[in-house]
Structure 1
Amino acid sequence: MSLPTPALRILQGLGALWTAPNTLIGLVAGLAGMLAGARASWNQRDLAVVFREWPWGPGGAITLGNVILHTGPVLDVPCRTYAHQAGECTEPVIGLHDHERAHVYQYLVLGPLYLPVYLLCGGVSARNPFERAADVYAMTGRGWWP
């Protein structure tokens, strides 16, 4: 059973308040990136401010609360799952925007606890249940929670 739209919007708003400290970190990083050419836009689908062409990092994207920092020109690009990249299995290509949206949802639940819990679970790796859940969500449209 899905929540009615008004109830879901209220929960998303409460989650956004709960994760505001993470979002603030993302906004500061995004604004710094704008000094080097990054461009910002609101993405309703992903519930996030997306900073495109963010100038730092190895490539790809990182989510901080309701902010997604992406090194490319568009977030809607195909990518490999963490398990596939680690050689653990063969999985289909997923959408980077779907993967990052799952992280936004995870932040809405854990708020300021997200980063410490994420790091305790293994950080950026195929072993991290948050990354695996984001990959599953990107493949199926469900299961964003680890």
Structure 2
Amino acid sequence: MNPVLRRLAIVLGLVWALPNTVLGLIAGIVGLAFGAHAHWRPRDLALVFHRWPWGPGGALTLGNVILHTGDTLDSTCVTYAHRAGHGDEAPIALADHERAHVYQYMALGLMFLPLYLACGGISVRNPFERAADRYAQTGRGWWPWSR
């Protein structure tokens, strides 16, 4: 893609995802008071709050914000299919999985959360999670309805 068009697409995506990003910023800022810390990850187009103190572990993406309970996104995790016993898949990079969700938010904006929840939420059945795992495995296919 032309570099100018790529930058324009990124800026438009950032703006389109902004309402969700604001939710993530609010949650992240609250987490700062409880020990979280933040830094910008250019590759992921996201502000990451590490050591976010709530949740069962792992990460949650809201727009261009990633709330992460651990110390680094550069760790591995299992895919949703592997966790559900649907096959033996190699571990994936958590950062790659969450980057796919950032892209999904940038494409869908305010429609992301209702569609994500309508598709099953945090579940192996959810095409958003399967796409994020596919992207983390191959570097392609972050769109939930692509193959």
Deviations 1:67-116, CA, capped at 9 Å, x for gaps: 00000011110000001000011111000000000000000000011000
**1:12-27 equivalence runs, <5 A:** 12-27=10-25
* Secondary structure of the corresponding residue to residue 122 of structure 2: coil
* Secondary structure of the corresponding residue to residue 56 of structure 1: coil
1:120 & 1:25 partners in 2: Cα distance? Answer: 19
Deviates more, 1:53-62 or 1:4-13: 4-13
2:5 & 2:51 partners in 1: Cα distance? Answer: 34
Offset of 1:4 from its aligned partner? 1.4
1:9 & 1:94 partners in 2: Cα distance? Answer: 27
**1:94-105 equivalence runs, <5 A:** 94-105=92-103
Structure 2 residue identity aligned to 1:135: D
1:39 & 1:72 partners in 2: Cα distance? Answer: 11
Q: Which runs of 5+ in 2 are unaligned?
A: none
Deviations 1:103-132, CA, capped at 9 Å, x for gaps: 000000000110000000000000000000
RMSD, aligned CA: 0.5
**1:78-117 equivalence runs, <5 A:** 78-117=76-115
Residue number in structure 2 paired with 1:44: 42
* Secondary structure of the corresponding residue to residue 45 of structure 1: helix
Deviations 1:43-80, CA, capped at 9 Å, x for gaps: 00000000000000000000000000000011110000
Q: 1:66 aligns with which of 64, 67, 73?
A: 64
Residue number in structure 1 paired with 2:52: 54
The TM-score normalised by the length of structure 2 is 0.97
Count of aligned positions: 144
Q: Which runs of 5+ in 1 are unaligned?
A: none
Regions of 4+ moved over 4 Å:
none
The yes-or-no answer on 1:131 pairing with 2:129 is: yes
Percent identical residues: 62
Offset of 1:8 from its aligned partner? 0.8
